[in-house]
Amino acid sequence: MKDQRTLTEQLDSIDEYEREPVPENKTKNFRSFVSMMAGEHIAGTEFVIGPLFVLHGVSASAIMIGLLLGNILATLSWTLVCAPVAVKTRLTIYYQLEKICGYRLVSIYNAINGLQYTVLAASMIAVSATAIGLAFRLPMPGLTDLYPTSFAWIIAVLGIGAVITVVTIYGYDRVAAFSAVCAPWMPLVFLAAAVAVLPQLGVTSWGDFWAVANDKIWTGVPQPGQTHYTVWHVMFFAWLCNIAMHIGLADMSIYRYAKKPTYGIASAVGMFVGHGMAWLASGVLCALAIQQGNNNPSPGGIAYASAGLAGAACVVIAGWTTANPTLYRAGLAMKGIAPHLKRWKITFWVGIMATIMACFPGVASKLDQMLAFYALVAAPVGAIIIMDVYVLRRFGLMTNYAEQTGISFNWVAAGAWLIAVLISYVLYLMTNADFFFFMAAPGWIIGAILYVGLSKMFQKAPTPEVIA
Amino acid sequence: MKTILKPLSYIGLALTVVPAFLVFYGVLSLADHKLLMLAGMLLWFVTAPFWILEKKVD
């Protein structure tokens, strides 16, 4: 009993600055961000996305050019958009948004965001559990299963979910420490797994690689039942699969700890290693599985086949290091709804919710649809914050309108957000785009224009104190 | 202690990636590569946390 109280007191004392700026003496160095971004973007889901491009018939030149351009754009989005505003305000996106939108409106955003992060964390836990099942020869669900298929599967999910939740509860420092240990090892496993199986695809010298890449890996011909992806699909996916985090500004919660805005460039490690090399490597592994007659490979399966127990462990750990910051963000989002509760208690319940969701393998198989919905909702919100922090004053308008006027629901921000989401969805339908990510960037721009325009139309005249 | 642990950690990383290239050049079998990767993983996770986390605390 005494020990329990001690633990509770210890957890209560962890201060994560949810409702105040991060003080200068608590900022982290560049190396922390490199390991954090590397850990987060070298995830178990890379074993899903790389094969996706192979199955959708991306050509070799399309994947190389698309990944290069998309990852450059993603890095620039963190460096030029997310990190500068995070360092300028040193606040979480949730608290900054509350100042702009008011408590009631931001509660809606927090609920949607927290739920999405929880589902995302659940998918990471599910991918990790798949690898555990394979390594120990436990019966596990296939990629098309939606419901739990065995008791052993549930046990594996519960075990992984418990570990991830405990690590996340201890806060950012523990999350960063866990990522720091795993970060140098994980990309080497992806690289080694792909290099080791190249001879089985017919690559016996480096000179053979490009010809085999075109003929057997990224053939340009989709598998039966799959749509055809071009260089544009690859580029927009690489750029915008994390739109909520960079130009949607969710990573303000992480980058508020940066000493300088230039630390945004640390995202390049996550992009070019995790969303570059790892996607290419897992594509190679998928192509081998297809060559061997398996048209529906699982993440754990391709990792185990090429790298043994280390490969299976990599899928598990890659899932952990992504689920940790994702659960951390979910906890912060829910904290916005219930500021009186301790973050660790919220994270505990969010972790339990994610673990229960992960028992249903459908959370992983429907990941792409969830990411698309996430992009739709999050993009205009980032635009509203950027306009509020950098642009409104130039038009003589009030920033942090809800805080300044004491309102709990900013109808201007709500209108800009909702109309931007609706217009981008209508554009998606009208242009018959086969890829929702094509509409995410327009959604951001529409949200920005609407927010400034509606603020100009409906904001009350600023007081002299506000202008000063 | 750190002077012993750090080289061991790097050997762990080397055991993770070098065998794959030996498989590629036909020097090593895929089964041996998997075993060496497992050894590399164990070596890394047994040694690296001590000096990586110590550096973070500093």
Q: How many domains does chain B have?
A: 1
| Spatial contact of A122 and A357, defined as CB atoms under 8 Å apart | yes
Q: Is residue B56 part of a domain?
A: no
Establish if B42 belongs to a structural domain. Answer: yes
Q: How far is A308 from chain B (nearest CA, A)?
A: 5
Q: Is residue B22 part of a domain?
A: yes
Closest alpha carbon within chain A to B24: A196
Count of CB contacts below 8 A, A vs B? 76
Query: What's the burial of A457, exposed, middle or buried (CB within 10 Å: 0-12/13-18/19+)?
Result: exposed
Name which of A181, A189, A197 is nearest B52 (Cβ-Cβ).
Answer: A181
CA distance A189 to A312: 10
Reported pTM: 0.85
In a domain, B55, yes or no: no
- Compute the nearest-CA separation of B4 from chain A (Å): 17
Task: Tell me the two tokens of residue A258.
Answer: 């940066």
ipTM: 0.94
Q: Does some domain include residue B16? A: yes
Give domain status of residue B26, yes or no: yes
* CA-based nearest distance A237→chain B, Å: 29
Beta bridge partners of A258: A28
Which of B13, B24, B33 minimises the CB distance to A198? B24
Residue B33 lies in a domain: yes
Distance from CA of B14 to the nearest CA of A (A): 9
Nearest to A308 among B12, B38, B53 (CB): B38
Test B53 with A32 for CB contact under 8 angstroms.
no
Give the best residue of B15, B17, B27 to mutate against chain A (max A CB count within 10 A): B17
Return d(Cα A190, Cα A194) in angstroms, integer: 6
> For each of chain A's 468 residues, which pLDDT tens digit applies?
334 445 445 544 555 777 788 888 888 889 888 877 877 787 777 877 888 889 889 999 999 999 999 999 999 999 999 999 999 999 988 889 999 999 899 888 888 888 888 888 888 888 888 787 776 777 666 555 678 877 888 888 898 899 888 888 876 566 667 777 888 899 999 999 999 999 999 998 999 999 999 999 999 999 887 789 999 999 988 998 888 889 989 889 889 999 999 999 999 999 999 999 999 999 999 999 889 887 767 778 888 889 998 998 888 888 877 787 788 878 877 876 777 788 788 889 999 999 999 998 777 766 766 777 778 888 899 999 999 999 999 999 999 999 999 899 999 999 999 999 999 989 888 887 777 778 888 899 999 999 999 999 988 755 555 544
DSSP string, A156-220: HHHHHHHHHHHHHHT-HHHHHHHHHHHTTTHHHHHHHHHHHHHHHHT--SGGGHHHHIIIIISBS
Angle between helices A299-337 and A186-201 (to 10 degrees): 150
Inside any domain, residue B58: no
Q: Which amino acid is at A362?
A: G
Cβ of A307 within 8 Å of Cβ of B37? The answer is: yes
**Which domain range does residue B10 map to?**
2-48
Radius of gyration of chain A (CA): 22
